[in-house]
Structure 1
Amino acid sequence: MNTKRVVIGAVLVVWVIATVLAQHPDDNNSRVRRLARHLGSFWIPNWKFFAPNPGIDDYILYYRTGDSGSDTWNEWRRLFQVKEPQFWEMFYSPTSRRDKGVLDIVTTLEIMGDSDAFGAAREAYCNLLVDFVRVNMAPTGEPFFQAMVVRGAGHETSIPPAYEIVLDPRPVQFSEEVHRD
């Protein structure tokens, strides 16, 4: 038998076993996970994105502008309009990082729930979402805006959207006290 084939086969078997052990939630595999962190995900991939809570929904940001004092609001508007994907976006899509960031923030807010233990952290994540909407929304002459997160099923139109989070109205302008240069 060829020695080169045996070595390559042994390395492949060790790699597959290390990859499977690194995915397993059992604490007995902590050494393999430490090795994976040390070597990087190129050598031992991390496939935990698919379980236990995979990202199967799209979170879409909406906003509306108006005056919270008189309770007069305009219609809800989608923050980023849907556009037909380009062929090259299959290989490089700069907006996918933006969408992933929104997904991470909303998922974290869902995990926190309404628990008082996460009060400050929850407020920080909500402020992050609000500031993201404030910076990216269309210019308006209205003094206030309100943001909303809607869960959708992507291109699947037979599933109705679910209204996840409606944030409190905020001023359109950044507060000088909070945001200093």
Structure 2
Amino acid sequence: MMSDRIQNVAGACAVGALAAHLVSTVLQNTPDSYNQDLRIFTGGWTVPGWRFFAPNPGVQNVHLLVREVASEGAAPTPWRDVTPEVPHGWKQVLWNPASRGPKALFDAMQQLSVMCANQAEFAWVTQSLPYQLVFSASRAAVANDSKALQFLLMNVFPSAPPDQRMKPILTSEWIPLRSPVRAGGAVR
């Protein structure tokens, strides 16, 4: 009898502590104008302060466009979007190993966007690891016998008016391609 009472009290305390933690977490993550410092009420217990996308939520998509020259003196091909598609479905919430490659490319394109927004010198940008990663992704998207390629990073603002939806971020120089890509993707 006494052990049932102790279990009930312990269960009620656990549920109460969990409820207090959840409520304080929600209150801690309200906008700053409503946010109160809850540390004085929690007795040293850390309350998570998640700001997922704040204060600058993503409002644009970055696209990678590529064009190439097939032979000396030939006209370049039209720009084409080679941004990897990432499948979205209920299974991807639990297991999505295919998202790592596109995420790495997206992060590199975002870093190049930041560099350009901060007026980084073009010579410095072309020596950066993000630039090299985007070049490698571009190289993998063109024909094996192409002589040169150029890539363009484009911000697309889906919610903007139609005439303001696209804004170029970075256009590479024409990059000569010395040798074809092997089956494994490495340049010889």
Does the alignment reach a TM-score above 0.5?
yes
Report the count of equivalent residues. Answer: 159
1:16-70 Cα distance to aligned partner (Å, 9 max, x none): 5468769999xx99xxxxx99xxxxxxx6x7433212222321111100017975
Question: Is 2:55 the counterpart of 1:48?
Answer: no
The one-letter code of the counterpart of 1:109 is: L
SS in 1 for 2:52: helix
Aligned with 1:172 (options 154, 159, 177): 177
Pairs within 5 Å for 1:26-175: 47-66=50-69, 70=73, 72-80=75-83, 89-92=89-92, 96-112=99-115, 113-115=118-120, 119=124, 123-135=128-140, 137-154=141-158, 158=162, 160-173=165-178
Tell me the TM-score normalized by structure 1. 0.61
The Cα of 1:173 is off from its aligned counterpart by: 4.6
SS in 1 for 2:128: helix
SS in 2 for 1:115: coil
Contact in 2 for aligned 1:65/1:143 (Cα 8 Å): yes
* Rounded Cα–Cα distance in structure 1 between residues aligned with 2:71 and 2:84: 25
* Rounded Cα–Cα distance in structure 2 between residues aligned with 1:91 and 1:103: 21
The Cα of 1:166 is off from its aligned counterpart by: 0.8
Contact in 1 for aligned 2:159/2:165 (Cα 8 Å): no
* Rounded Cα–Cα distance in structure 1 between residues aligned with 2:97 and 2:127: 27
Aligned with 1:13 (options 11, 16, 20): 20
The one-letter code of the counterpart of 1:149 is: L
Greater gyration radius: 2
Q: Which runs of 5+ in 2 are unaligned?
A: 39-44, 181-185
The one-letter code of the counterpart of 2:89 is: E
The 1:174/1:165 distance shift into structure 2, 3 A limit, reads farther
* Rounded Cα–Cα distance in structure 2 between residues aligned with 1:108 and 1:169: 21
Tell me the TM-score normalized by structure 2. 0.59
* Rounded Cα–Cα distance in structure 2 between residues aligned with 1:173 and 1:63: 17
- Identity score, percent: 18
The Cα of 1:103 is off from its aligned counterpart by: 2.9
1:114-166 Cα distance to aligned partner (Å, 9 max, x none): 335x937962211111111112x142533000011111235988453221111
The 1:53/1:122 distance shift into structure 2, 3 A limit, reads farther
* Rounded Cα–Cα distance in structure 2 between residues aligned with 1:102 and 1:23: 32
What is the root-mean-square deviation of aligned Cα atoms in Å?
4.6
The aligned residue for residue 41 of structure 1 is none
